[in-house]
């Protein structure tokens, strides 16, 4: 067996690059509850973290037996945008981590490309990625299917087994492993409770980081493990 090395680092966006999960889930919980489907932001994180809005809302409508109002997306979007302008921040340590990486990087997120771009611009991270922004809207199936990660690797001519994925959700870990990639769990976002790291380990994350500044050490540790 040969030593493991990486040629591409794939980052999820929400909860990994930007601390957006509390804002997003608070908005959905507020509007869902107002529509007659009571749920908390923490419940949404626990059930749907890493999933696209479309997939999440399809499950909720099926369980509820009712369609959400046509105004739902606009109401949630307005709440999120207002809060993003006021308080969206990059995850601690991510700026210096991205600046120090010497490998190609990209974003692969369940958000739309426009949403990814907006979040990265508001937090000053956009220049690290250029146009290497990949959305679940570009593929047939979102996470936990491997489609998005495989698409990102193909676009950047990287072999899947040489890709390192940084994810904060069980669905994202599952997707990375299904793609034949190495998955590192991240639980440094403010939405992550004390049990979050254990959940990612249960989904077979190779390592779990609590601080993005641990990435270089994590990569060095993984590189010392022979590839299977």
In whole angstroms, what is the distance from residue 174 CA to residue 201 CA? 11
pTM equals 0.88
- How confident is the model at residue 51, as a pLDDT? 82
Residue 11's DSSP bridge partners are 107, 166
Residue 185's DSSP bridge partners are 167, 208
Per-residue pLDDT band for 53 (boundaries 50, 70, 90) equals confident
> Which domains, ranges and CATH numbers included, belong to the chain?
8-20+89-223 (3.40.50.1000), 21-87 (1.10.150.240)
- How confident is the model at residue 113, as a pLDDT? 96
- pLDDT tens for residues 62-97? 999 999 999 999 999 999 999 999 999 999 999 999
- How confident is the model at residue 1, as a pLDDT? 36
Task: Output the CA torsion sign for 152, 153, 157, 163.
Answer: positive
Q: Could you tell me where the beta strands, DSSP code E, fall in 136-181?
A: 163-167
On whether the CB atoms of residues 199 and 209 are closer than 8 A, the answer is no
């Amino acid at each position: 067996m040969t030593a493991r090395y990486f040629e591409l680092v794939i980052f999820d966006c929400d909860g990994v690059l930007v601390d957006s999960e509390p804002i997003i889930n608070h908005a959905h919980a507020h509007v869902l509850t107002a529509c007659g489907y009571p749920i908390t932001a923490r419940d949404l994180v626990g059930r749907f973290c890493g999933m696209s809005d479309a997939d999440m809302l399809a499950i909720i409508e099926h369980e509820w037996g009712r369609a959400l109002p046509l105004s739902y997306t606009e109401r949630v979007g307005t709440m999120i945008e207002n809060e993003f302008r006021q308080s969206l921040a990059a995850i601690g340590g991510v700026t210096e981590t991205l600046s120090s990486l010497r490998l190609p990087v990209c974003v692969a997120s369940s958000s739309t490309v426009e949403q990814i771009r907006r979040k990265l611009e508001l937090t000053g991270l956009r220049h690290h990625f250029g146009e290497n922004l990949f959305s679940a809207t570009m593929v047939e199936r979102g996470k936990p299917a491997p489609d998005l990660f495989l698409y990102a690797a193909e676009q950047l001519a990287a072999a899947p087994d040489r890709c390192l994925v940084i994810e904060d959700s069980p669905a994202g870990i599952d997707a990375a492993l299904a793609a034949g990639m190495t998955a590192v769990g991240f639980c440094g976002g403010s939405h992550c409770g004390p049990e979050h790291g254990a959940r990612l380990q249960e989904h077979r994350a190779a390592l779990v980081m609590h601080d993005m500044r641990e990435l270089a050490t994590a990569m060095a540790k993984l590189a010392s493990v022979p590839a299977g």
